[in-house]
Amino acid sequence: MTDAQIDQLISRFASPSAPPPSAAATLAPPLALDDLARLFDHTALKPDTTEDAIHRLCDEARTYGFASVCVNPCYVSLAAEALADTDVAVCTVVGFPLGAMLSATKAAEARHVLREGATEVDMVLNVGLLKSEQYDRVEQDLRAVVEAVRDEHADALVKVILETALLTDEEKVIACVLAQNAGADFVKTSTGFSRGGATVEDVALMHRVVGGQLGVKASGGVGSVAEARAMVDAGASRIGASGSVAIMQELEAEGSA
Amino acid sequence: MTDAQIDQLISRFASPSAPPPSAAATLAPPLALDDLARLFDHTALKPDTTEDAIHRLCDEARTYGFASVCVNPCYVSLAAEALADTDVAVCTVVGFPLGAMLSATKAAEARHVLREGATEVDMVLNVGLLKSEQYDRVEQDLRAVVEAVRDEHADALVKVILETALLTDEEKVIACVLAQNAGADFVKTSTGFSRGGATVEDVALMHRVVGGQLGVKASGGVGSVAEARAMVDAGASRIGASGSVAIMQELEAEGSA
């Protein structure tokens, strides 16, 4: 897409009354590569993940100083307890990974997970309704979750997962604008459960639309220091990865080489 | 597994006070192959499914006389409206496809979808907790949904998705017993979103454990008349398929050959 086409979509869909995102999304200073660990949402969302695996995930997050662990809702309280004495946040997912739940259920789920100890909520946009051009309903769905989160926990973050692998560029731009209209803090590329993950091009496009206002989280398939650096260069302010430890070990090996 | 091993697991985990399943699951007569259409849950659960696709799905279900359409929660009211003057049920999914939501969220989702017009709820068991050997919590999670469903709608069906591709045979048997203890109406093999779908062996094993009490739904990858027949022969009383129309057309071609 050309810059003019992007700007045209932004002005067509942007709401002048969009609520501001939470301070944490926008006021964080640009992170140096030394601070790579603080970019990672250390992630374990597979359905067969055990309690033991969550304990290991939390231990690793504590060791490396990751931004958060990202776990399924059933493990939020376990992770919150394991990380209570650290500054590692507990991130979880809502309406995940299909995004096709009712808005009332997504809002209820958001309230439930915050009460269990999560402070970051990665929700999935309703892709089917976006493709049905039901933009008002898509925005209302996002807004229902943002409002539930703000009501439960003033400082919690909401990230909106677009599932970019399923979207056209035009749909990606519209989705970013709707997320911003709804008051989200971040837009995020992927669930990791669809046919593709984060690409540098998508992160750059999303940053072009929301940059300066919302954070951009690159997730799905980021597995090396080079890939992580490329995402940061394209505008990512958070990286979701299950292989965060391997990336950190690669970085340490670079440093000692 | 040997029959003795299966019986040992059943007697170890079965609750003597298991509530009876809904009449609809057990009283249906064995279906002849002529009645194949009445076995199908005609399914469209992809996250990018549009409203137009749901309209087509409902038209097809009406034409062929399928048991139900199986759609994501956001499309339940649309399907219920489209099928109001038919005996095609609206089936939907809860905690889908990961099964790793909080029980409170699954129960809330079950109530929400029944109020929108669903009468069949396919819920996903918590695979991670099953693998963590938290059997009481797994059963409580199933029970929370069954009780919410019974409270909202006395005649609605609950099917418990095991996600057999992720389970050992022992876990499959235990999961069937826990579903029966919790008062579910069916056990179901697969979400269609994991690394494998229904197999004849799994359907036979599940039927061996719950047969006569609960129905068995074979789902994921059933795409031909031969596969559908094999599932029925193994004990399936319902088949979930997105290719139901192609299977019916194959059956019609057989009949006219």
Q: Of A240, A114, A110, whose CA–CA distance to A182 is shortest?
A: A110
Q: What percent of chain B has pLDDT over 90?
A: 87
Shortest Cα–Cα distance, A95 to chain B (Å) = 9
pLDDT tens-digit profile of A101-127? Answer: 999 999 999 999 999 999 999 999 999
Averaged pLDDT for residues B219-239: 95
- The DSSP bridge partners found for residue B186 are B159, B215
Least CA distance to A131: which residue of chain B?
B50
The answer, yes or no, to whether residue B26 has pLDDT greater than 60, is no
pLDDT at position B112: 98
List residues in chain A touching B: CB distance below 8 A. 45-52, 72-76, 96-102, 104-105, 108-109, 112-113, 116, 124, 126-129, 131-132, 134, 163, 166, 193-194
Residue B148 has pLDDT above 70, yes or no: yes
Domains defined for chain A, CATH in brackets:
90-256 (3.20.20.70)
Q: Report pLDDT for A130.
A: 98
Q: What is the pLDDT of residue B255?
A: 75
Cα–Cα distances (Å) from B188 to B19, B164, B185, B219, in that order, read 19, 9, 10, 7
Looking at per-residue confidence, does B130 or B1 come out higher?
A: B130
Contact criterion met (CB < 8 Å) for B116 and A131: no
| pLDDT at residue B256 tops 80 | no
pLDDT at B24 exceeding the cut of 60: no
pLDDT at site A20: 75
Average pLDDT rounded to a whole number, residues B130-144: 98
pLDDT at B41 exceeding the cut of 90: yes
pLDDT of amino acid B29: 47
| pTM value surpassing 0.90 | yes
Helix and strand tally (H, E) in chain A? Answer: 11, 8
- How far apart CA A163 and CA B26 sit, in angstroms, is 40
Q: Which of A41, A122, A185, A202 is catalytic?
A: A122
How far is the alpha carbon of B84 from chain A, nearest alpha carbon, in Å? 20
d(CA B205, CA B188): 12
pLDDT tier, B92 (very low <50, low <70, confident <90, very high otherwise)? very high
Token pair belonging to B16: 């003597």
**Which residues of B make CB contacts under 8 Å with A?**
45-52, 72-76, 96-102, 104-105, 108-109, 112-113, 116, 124, 126-129, 131-132, 134, 163, 166, 193-194
pLDDT in tens, chain A (257 residues): 899 999 999 999 998 888 777 765 554 444 555 588 999 999 999 999 999 999 999 999 999 999 999 999 999 999 999 999 999 999 999 999 999 999 999 999 999 999 999 999 999 999 999 999 999 999 999 999 999 999 999 899 999 999 999 999 999 999 999 999 999 999 999 999 999 999 999 999 999 999 889 999 999 999 999 999 999 999 999 999 999 999 999 988 887 76
Sign of torsion, CA B106 B231 B224 B34?
negative
**What confidence score (pLDDT) does residue A78 get?**
98
Q: Tell me the backbone φ, ψ of residue B98, rounded to 5 degrees.
A: -90, -25
Q: Mean pLDDT, chain B, as a whole number? A: 94
Cβ contacts of B144 on chain A, cutoff 8 Å: none
Q: Output the pLDDT for position B254.
A: 82
3-state secondary structure of A138: helix
Tell which of A74, A93, A103, A162 to mutate to test the B interface (max B CBs under 10 Å).
A74
pLDDT at res. A252: 87
Cβ contact (<8 Å) for B74 and A100?
yes
CA–chain centroid gap for A114, Å, is: 16
Tell if the CB–CB gap between A108 and B108 is shorter than 8 Å: yes
* Cβ-defined contact of A128 to B48 (cutoff 8 Å): yes
